[in-house]
Amino acid sequence: MKRNISLPHWIDVGLRTLKYFLLGFFLYAVGTMSAAGIKAFMQSPYGLIADVKMLNFFRFLGGVGLVVIGGLLVLSVLIQNFWCRYLCPYGAMMGLASLLSPLKIRRNPETCIDCAKCAKACPSSLPVDRLVTIRSVECTACLECVAACPAEKALVLSGPTRKSVPAWTLAVGLATLFVGTVEYAKISHHWDTAISPTVYQYLVRHAEAAAHPVPNDSRDSEVSGRMVGYLLTL
């Protein structure tokens, strides 16, 4: 569509707070659970089959889900990164982590030609052309602004010493962190599932019977007890 819709500043700021409320809600929900409660949830039939439950949500999408996802799709076409910018709890967590990053995008006023191309390229609509150092929870170091800058070294990614850091080092660092974490989890046997293929196939076929655990829910307790009893016989 050649250009995105820009919301008024006061609406944009208001909507941006939603993802932090959602992040806070999830942190509260997990933080108030006891270790025993978390373990019980993870080992419940619902916890064991959570990935299949999520798959089935999209396979058998209901009317409400279709409307919500369709609405998000349309809004994402009109407003760049609508979900990530306003509603994604993971996006909020990334934003908070960016404040702790030693790497920041910095603008050199002496070499800047004030073309404002960096601000136009920023997916978070930050006023990069009016700042010297970008310190914002909305900046995730995507480097779109750096790539759009036509002036040499007017906009760079740098560390605490203000020495320019090549963009490829950031990509390599993130890839190394991700791959290293996964490989460590595999070596330490935290990556592999303890569920046998037989049990998993049973859970897949009976995924809809595994309801979300609810305290004092007799129906859920009955279903969970029946499934757990079957698993214990395998």
Q: Are residues 203 and 152 in the same domain?
A: no
Q: Are residues 37 and 86 in the same domain?
A: yes
Q: Are residues 55 and 167 in the same domain?
A: no
Q: Are residues 145 and 72 in the same domain?
A: no
Q: Are residues 46 and 162 in the same domain?
A: no
Q: Are residues 217 and 157 in the same domain?
A: no
Mean pLDDT, all residues of the chain: 83
Q: Are residues 150 and 167 in the same domain?
A: yes
The answer to whether position 3 is within a domain reads no
Give 47 or 89, the one with higher predicted confidence: 89
Q: What is the CATH number of the domain that holds 177?
A: 3.30.70
Q: What is the pLDDT of residues 128-176, one digit of tens each?
A: 999 999 888 888 888 899 999 999 889 998 888 778 888 888 889 889 9
The answer to whether position 4 is within a domain reads no
Share of the chain above pLDDT 90, in %: 24
Asked if the model's pLDDT at residue 16 lies above 60, the reply is yes
pLDDT at residue number 218: 43
Residue that finishes a domain, picked among 187, 204, 219? 187
| Structural domain boundaries enclosing 133 | 101-187
Instruction: Provide the domain count of the chain.
Output: 2
Q: In this structure, which long-range contacts are made by residues 90-99, counting pairs with CB atoms below 8 Å and at least 24 apart in sequence?
A: 91/19, 91/140, 92/19, 92/20, 92/22, 92/23, 92/137, 93/23, 94/140, 95/136, 95/137, 95/138, 95/139, 95/140, 96/137, 98/136, 98/137, 98/139, 98/140, 98/141, 99/135, 99/137
Q: Are residues 202 and 161 in the same domain?
A: no
Using pLDDT thresholds of 50, 70 and 90, give the confidence band for residue 220: very low
Using pLDDT thresholds of 50, 70 and 90, give the confidence band for residue 89: very high
